[in-house]
Structure 1
């Protein structure tokens, strides 16, 4: 599914909403994924992604960050 929190234009608010949505999706995925299953999420950097990253590393054998070359430096 393609999920996205509505953006407000306020970077901090948008970041927190995106992290919250990713956490809900991760909780659901952990309940329904078979062993070895995969989870992908797109989140903006903003300082609150640490706990999400820690949970991902705890529950999956591989966690990768990707930043498209076309994205802005401050994105």
Structure 2
């Protein structure tokens, strides 16, 4: 698993866990539910914030918030 902050734009991932208990409810209200597929749309020039597509809409997420979300790639590339 990787942190959401480590994922490149255009990659679809599945939310597996939210590590920060303080952010858990806030992120859940925005659609960050474990098992939900999300896609990184854009990263700001300095890396913060990032834009993600989740539950049919786009939202911005601070990098420190994205570091609390553990994800797994939807499609693993094979060699």
- Into which bin does the TM-score normalised by the smaller protein fall? under 0.3
Bigger Rg, structure 1 or 2: 1
- Larger % of strand: which? 2
Query: Please, what TM-score do these two structures have when normalized by structure 1?
Result: 0.25
Query: Please, what TM-score do these two structures have when normalized by structure 2?
Result: 0.24
**Relative contact order, CA 8 A, sep 6+: which one is greater?**
2
